[in-house]
Structure 1
Amino acid sequence: MYKQPVRQPGASSGTRCAIYTRKSHEEGLEQEFNSLDAQREACEAYITSQRHEGWEILPGYYDDGGISGATMDRPALQRLLADIAAGRIDVVVVYKVDRLTRALADFARIVDIFDAAKVSFVSVTQAFNTTTSMGRLTLNVLLSFAQFEREVTAERIRDKIAASKKKGMWMGGNLPLGYDSEDRKLVINNTEAETVRHIFRRYVELGSVARLRDELEAEGIVSKIRISAKGLKKGGAPFTRGALYHLLKNEIYRGKITHKGTSYPGEHLPVVDQNLWNEVQAQLTENRVERRSGNRIKSSNLLTGLLFDGAGHRLTPSHSNKKGQRYRYYVSRTLISGPREARDRGRRLPARGIETLVTDRLYRYFGDEAAILGTGAADIRDLASQQQFLGKIRHLRESWSKLELAKIRQILLLLIDRVEVFEDHVDIRIDRNALPMVDREGGPIRKEKGVGKAADIEILHIPAKLKRTGMEMRMLVDGATARDSAQKPDRSLVRLLAQAKMFQERALQNETCTIGQLAKEAGVSDSYFTRILRLNYLAPDIVRAILTGAQPPELTARKLVSASRLPLLWQDQLRLFSVI
């Protein structure tokens, strides 16, 4: 029934037998006497019956519980094969052939390993001899039936899952944020459900998954914490863009169960109402169309085609990537393709700085109703029409911070003839005749460019000086004009400062508590609690800039929270966050 193995020098004179057992499912493994024990007992009895042949049981256990026979990635099987390769085993004993594998291809690989090590193979319930061609044929037939049985079982499971999902039943897997599992059914977790609704609402307001991710990370909102059957903790990490896209498109949250692209009414209750769901899906679709058409990429550079230096040379968009971070610039053509001697006169402006300067000034311009009535509304004679026109401008100003980049880009193209950057100031040339068309749906995107006639142009003057730092030019704007005094502060940054104060108060009121206890009480991680607590030691100038909205564009909530080390010296903090 087995072939005599080639014995290594110094090895035992007996035939060393290793018992391999396997069970596909974990169910029942917790019992005192389970399927693995039953298999081993049968194999031990068989080896005992062959004691007169010199068979002896090796003390090691090769048990794979809860692992399918369709894979070779099994810990005990890999240990068995390693011991075979090391010459420690003469015979492998199993209860049935399919305990070793259920795939013909895998079995062929295992047999090659057995043959190379001169190891025999025995199944105690199926009599065959692997040393003969007939024995191998018998074994292959048995394995073919085992593979067929596995495939039929898999088809039955798939059919059962499909039928169950059509009835709206949740079939397991990772629990989605917002739900717990009770009796294998989804039950709403009220605390997490409110977090899910907050994510949906904020996406509608922000219109961007990237901005939503940054805000959630700044607020300390993390993914669902899951504990595996082995007690391993998973989740509790900041959301990635991919995870947020999956969450926003997950139909479980509207009370549906999906199967192969089709949705069915679920047995569980929805977390978000249908109206909010529809708004989110519409926004996702709109963003997807913009990405495919290229509009979103083009609109990210707000001043493309509008920006010129004092000599009338156009500045074009450019970018660089450093350590995975993308930096945008507006660059003079001479720096790209001009002669070497002309490059010293070229401009290289950080895109966000000049874009913020222009959009902030335009925002202030919308608030100057006297100037607007003297320009764009000059042809509007009756009082009622003037008030209607001003109402549209007020609405535009109020919604300015919520507008998509593509819409802001459209407004800039319509209103601005060109933006000219000089050594000591920036001029924004506004087309007087275009202002009444700002709120008109489907209005012209842009007339033919060129300097307009003096009578048609309103110049918005911004005192500013260019300062060269390395290869780029930075703009130092006079304090009074750097930002509009009425500009709204960044809510995510202000929220971080408020959270820092709250964490500090908790720490002072509970002096005996550890950071871990305080973080758990606040519902955040230890690391996040510590990082937010440090913000209480920010330089007063940084706090003042955040509260007034005067911080540099580069100072985002994500950057503030992710700063691994906050310098103790205020001057070092100012340099770190570019607050000058």
Structure 2
Amino acid sequence: KRCYIYARVSTDEQASGEYSSVESQIDICKHYIEVQREKGWQHAGNYKDPGYSGKDLDRPGIQELLTDIRAAKIDVIIVYKIERLVRSIRDFYKLWDIFQENNVTFVSATQQFDTSNAMGKLTLNILLSFAQFERENTAEKTRDKMRQRARLGKWHGGWMPYGYNYNKKTQKLEINQKEAKAIKQIFEQYNAGQKPAQIANTLNNASYQTKTRIITTKDGKQKTVGGNRFNEDMIKNIISNPIYKGYVHLDDKEYPGEHQAIISEAEWQKANKHLTTKTNRPTNYAKDDHTHLLKGILKCGQCQCNLTPYPSGKKDKNGQPYLYYACGKVVDNGKNSDCKVRMLPAREFEAIIKQALQGLGQNKALINSAIHNTTNHNKKRIKPLELEKEQTTNALIKTVKEINRLVNIMKSQDMVGKEINNEYKVLLEERKRLENNQQKIELEIERCQQDTLDAENIARTLQAFDKVISVLPIDDQKELFQLLIREITVWHYDPAKEKAPRFERGAFTAKIRTKWYKIKLDLYQFPQIDEYYHSISGKLASSE
């Protein structure tokens, strides 16, 4: 994974020596990446904002970082501490939305904050809960203002309704005569029996277009949208909008507006009575409410692309849409793609993963043995680190004493020799080096301890998995999967043509409908139990 470091020191912090320097932050973050090398993490570059405050996002380094995230150049962002990136929850919420949209992991090297593991996600959820509360509180205040405006008959904002312009001086809607002509035509033709699609074609043939407006994109650029052809849904929305009979609408209530109507109330009522009769008819089309449990953690082993949710448009005998996870190359290239995995039936594949986790959770002896091995392994890793930490601490104490000795000498002499000055500078550099080493060692010790803790938490969750998974709401099931599983990789497998493969760790085979797949299940901070995966290989199947 391509890992980039972001470092920032404000002018005040530079003066006081807090957080040392941008270079020191980068050094600690590099070491963190090195500790994660088993995950395939690689240091790819740095973004710096020396001398900038964290009060907002108006910084060249952070803006360059966001541009590269949107260009899909970054997999992981690492900072020394969260406050190096942002100082407000609101700004972090904005950044997190961008990170999520672009599948970027966020890590704070010295605060055990890593969104690629379960504990980091828990910490993130707590942080975002505060941001969500603040956001909802602001939204409620905005909603109250909109209700007040609606009760006064004022337009309460949003997209400008076709047929009107907004006068900023009077703060009122005013009729746009050209567009109003099209509005009148729509109601006249609909009340005369024409269909919305026919009306849309008539307007398009007469060179009418939807309103244009200028918006600001996420990267700060101005963009003109609208100016499109009319379609059936647009005509229906216009007919059902009470703005045209002189009313404003909010929260399923209508209020007499202060603006001038384009259509009489009788014309509007006639059209909407006809429209309601048609739209209330039964339909075979239903909204798909299926949550994809494995979204974001499923990968095609052949193409190294994400497998993403993909509705086929067809339905089963119960009227439910067939849902798939499709390889990114298949989505992009269709039949021209050489991918053998192509599309996985979503419900059936999710059932296979449930079976695998349920079986693992029921084997307590196997889990306890794995945890015991993990704990012993981490203890062996920690012992030499603690010895190295003790040696570094003693060396640091000795260096500080030497610095204090030289400070006393310099205080007692009017003129300080060049040799003493040089020795003083060398000692300061040595102190800085030892402090950095001390932090690096502490990071590695914390990592070992966290690995053990996470493995124990995952083990407890697996043992309870069979009991809770069937009673959890679908959204909570998804969250549980996301907390347990780091990644699932899938390959096509043909047992008739291929010899039984020597699978990499954590892999097993399973049959879904008529096809076989090799599946590698990578759990967070939990050892791969090869004997379990070997025992279920070829025995899990789904034919739903």
- How does the TM-score come out when normalised to structure 1? 0.34
- How does the TM-score come out when normalised to structure 2? 0.36
Q: Which has the higher contact order (CA 8 A, sep 6+)?
A: 2
State the structure with more CA Rg: 1
